[in-house]
Amino acid sequence: MDGKMIGPGPYRATKLWNETIKLFRGGMPLKRHWAHFRSYDNSFTASEAVDYLYVLLKHNQNFGPEVTRYQSLQLLRKFLKNHVIEDVKGRFGKEDFDDNGRLYRFPPQSPLKPLPQHAPVAQRKLVPQIPPWHDCEETQVSNRLPMKPLVLNSESWNKRHSIAIGEVAECKLIRKRDLTPKNVVQIWKSMTLTHLQGILGLQSLDGLLDSKLLRPEHIVHNVFSVNKQGIVVLKNRAEDLPHWVLSAMKCLANWPNGNDSKQPMYPGFERDVFRTVAEHFQRLKEPLLTFHLYEMFVSILGLLPKQQVVVEALQACCLLLPPPSRRKLQLLLRLMAKACHNDTLPPLNEAIGTRTLMVQTFSRCILYSADEVDLDELLATKLVTFMMDNYENVLKVPTDLHRSVEEHLAHLRRAQQIKYAGTDTDSSVESPPHAYCRQISKEEFEEQRVTGSQGAMVELLESLIKDKAMSTKDKKKKLKQFQRSYPDIYHSRFPTPASVAAVFPERSQRLRPHLVFSTLKKPLQPFQRSWSFRS
């Protein structure tokens, strides 16, 4: 009866609809029933269907114990409308379904809904790249894998490692272009979507939202334009709740000490105040979580019962809301939570408790689909219950995301680049855009590391050996420097002393005069004067 857990991903509501129908059709007991002096095999009464579906949904991990019997009745009405069931005379669609003894049966045809054909492509991550000093537009790169080093050609290696061989070109540090406000907000948007996709563990955000419809200014406003309690502060007061609604919400949230207007209190006063708040939110043209983000929030429900992960996902997703919607959501959830835990607040409804009343009253104000998805009530109830119980954490700014973005922006602002003399032919002409690293696989990186980097150094070594314009003394000096920096490449080229001697052959040396004298058997005798100049 538990069924399988439908995890996060696109079209989760449709998948849940089909899964619920399969479980209901496969487990609903069918019997022979009598009606109007006639027997009907493989049939069931409306009350039997409500009983079974109610137990089924309560014990299903996709819905949980928050489901009520009335919601089960509402779902069976949608089953009848969509021809999941029919009465024993074959009627469906416009017929009413009530909790009574009327007989129903399953039609022979399949009532399952097909998934949309434009399902997202698998094995592809939509992670926005963040170009550091150009206008930040979203591109498709990987997020979770680290960036591999850029493979350089021989010319780049020569320039990069010229210090090792004593050939350092003249260079200077150039400050990169400052980040504009547009760059900053685009980085916030890109990194927020990346963070959210990583939490959901999805290959793509396709089918969940259209990033082009998201305004990055909203994210920045929701992060920084807040009061001490973390509630969004609006620049345009016309977008805020009316003052009388704010006053009514404050009255209930701080009951019995929230009546700042000192209005006379009478029996049932708190119920009228609650009705005033409920009617205002029920008249909103769009739910607080917006139509655009409906699939995203429904997908987050697939992460339950991983409570901490759901909190992190909701934190990131709620940053995408327009600031007025986020502020109203913060105030409403705070009211709901405080009312549920306020023992001094009189019952707002005689039939149901305050907690159930809050969820049933405001679920549709917070989440529902523009296309009236068949499971809207059940999904909204589950999500709103969780958000109400964890409202203090759900609507916080994600600490990890905030720190990551600030560190990234700080890095971009202090980043510098090196320019070598002679690289720019015309200083008046703007240099071409900077080339960024591309992601490669580990195997490709190892192959390029050997064929690229080591190959370039081998080529550099050979150019030193064959340089005829360099003196032998200078050449030996540079080769010793190369040997200290790259011993493996040096020894592969000169494995033995003989290989070194082949590059530097010894020249024949001339015999010095004292060596000639030493070859004589008898040393020369000193000159002796044999006669005198005197007469």
Taking only the tens place, the pLDDT of each residue in 481-490 is: 888 888 888 8
User: pLDDT tier at 153 (50, 70, 90 boundaries)?
Assistant: low
Going by their DSSP bridges, the two strands 103-105 and 86-87 should be labelled as: antiparallel
Choose between 95 and 479: higher pLDDT: 479
Choose between 11 and 367: higher pLDDT: 367
pLDDT at 456: 74
Single-letter amino acid, residue 258 = G
pLDDT at 498: 77
User: pLDDT tier at 185 (50, 70, 90 boundaries)?
Assistant: very high
Highest mean pLDDT among 131-135, 421-425, 466-470: 466-470
Whether pLDDT at 170 is above 70? no
Residue 356: partners with Cβ closer than 8 Å, 6 or more residues away: 68
Which of 147-156, 192-201, 334-343, 445-454 has the least mean pLDDT? 147-156
CATH architecture of the domain with range 12-105: Orthogonal Bundle (1.10)
Q: Which tokens belong to 498?
A: 């003989």
SS3 173: strand
User: pLDDT tier at 129 (50, 70, 90 boundaries)?
Assistant: very low
DSSP class of 44:
E
Average pLDDT over residues 88-114: 86
DSSP class of 214:
-
Angle between helices 472-485 and 455-465 (to 10 degrees): 160
Q: Which residue has the tokens 């494995």?
A: 495
pLDDT at 447: 67
Cα–Cα dist 334/316, whole Å: 19
Average pLDDT over residues 353-367: 93
Distance (Å) of CA 105 to CA 25, 46, 177, 188, 290: 10, 10, 71, 54, 38
Cα–Cα dist 240/328, whole Å: 8
Which of 77-86, 202-211, 503-512 has the least mean pLDDT? 503-512
Query: pLDDT tens-digit profile of 449-501?
Result: 666 667 777 878 888 888 878 888 888 888 888 888 888 888 888 888 877 77
Q: Which residue has the tokens 């029933």?
A: 33
Whether pLDDT at 517 is above 50? no
Torsion of CA 496, 497, 502, 507, to 10 degrees: -170
User: pLDDT tier at 112 (50, 70, 90 boundaries)?
Assistant: confident
Query: pLDDT tens-digit profile of 275-289?
Result: 999 999 999 999 999
pLDDT at 535: 45
Q: Which of 398, 432, 273, 409 is nearest to 339 (CA)?
A: 273
Whether pLDDT at 128 is above 70? no
What sign has the CA pseudo-torsion 308, 312, 317, 321? positive
What is the overall mean pLDDT for the chain? 79
Whether pLDDT at 529 is above 70? no
CB 111 within 8 A of CB 105: no
The C-alpha angle 41, 46, 48, rounded to 5 degrees, equals 80
Q: Outline which parts of the chain fall under CATH 1.10.555.10.
A: 231-395
Choose between 405 and 420: higher pLDDT: 405
With b meaning 16 or more CB within 10 Å and e meaning fewer, what string describes 419-456? eeeeeeeeeeeeeeeeeeeeebeeeeeeebeeebbebb
pLDDT at 464: 80
Q: Which of 125, 242, 255, 282 is nearest to 195 (CA)?
A: 125
Cα–Cα dist 116/133, whole Å: 39
User: pLDDT tier at 398 (50, 70, 90 boundaries)?
Assistant: very high
Average pLDDT over residues 70-97: 88
- Other CB atoms within a 10 A radius of the CB of residue 478 amount to 18
Whether pLDDT at 382 is above 50? yes
pLDDT at 439: 62
Average pLDDT over residues 401-412: 92
| pTM for the model | 0.66
Residue 221: partners with Cβ closer than 8 Å, 6 or more residues away: 232, 323
Average pLDDT over residues 278-302: 94
Query: pLDDT tens-digit profile of 319-339?
Result: 999 999 999 999 999 999 999
Highest mean pLDDT among 33-47, 63-77, 286-300: 286-300
Which of 152-166, 369-383, 486-500 has the least mean pLDDT? 152-166
DSSP class of 75:
H
What sign has the CA pseudo-torsion 337, 340, 344, 349? positive
Q: Which residue has the tokens 């082949």?
A: 502
Average pLDDT over residues 183-208: 91
- CATH class entry, domain 231-395: mainly alpha
How long, in residues, is the chain? 535
Average pLDDT over residues 335-360: 91
pLDDT at 141: 36
| φ, ψ for residue 58, nearest 5 deg | -65, -35
Which of 139-143, 202-206, 366-370 has the least mean pLDDT? 139-143
40's enclosing H/E stretch is strand 39-45
DSSP class of 10:
T
| φ, ψ for residue 141, nearest 5 deg | -140, 175
pLDDT at 147: 42
- Complete DSSP assignment for 108-167: SS--PPPPPS-PPPSS---B----SSS------B-SSSPPPPPPP-HHHHHHHTGGGGT-
Q: Which of 406, 394, 242 is nearest to 310 (CA)?
A: 394
Cα–Cα dist 488/285, whole Å: 72
pLDDT at 450: 61
Cα–Cα dist 127/203, whole Å: 9
SS3 241: coil
Whether pLDDT at 222 is above 90? yes
Q: Outline which parts of the chain fall under CATH 1.10.10.10.
A: 12-105
Average pLDDT over residues 1-5: 70
Q: Which residue has the tokens 């409500």?
A: 50
Which of 1-5, 158-162, 412-416 has the least mean pLDDT? 158-162
DSSP class of 452:
I
Cα–Cα dist 184/192, whole Å: 12
Q: Which residue has the tokens 């009627």?
A: 91
Whether pLDDT at 95 is above 90? no
Q: Which tokens belong to 25?
A: 């059709």
Cα–Cα dist 478/506, whole Å: 19
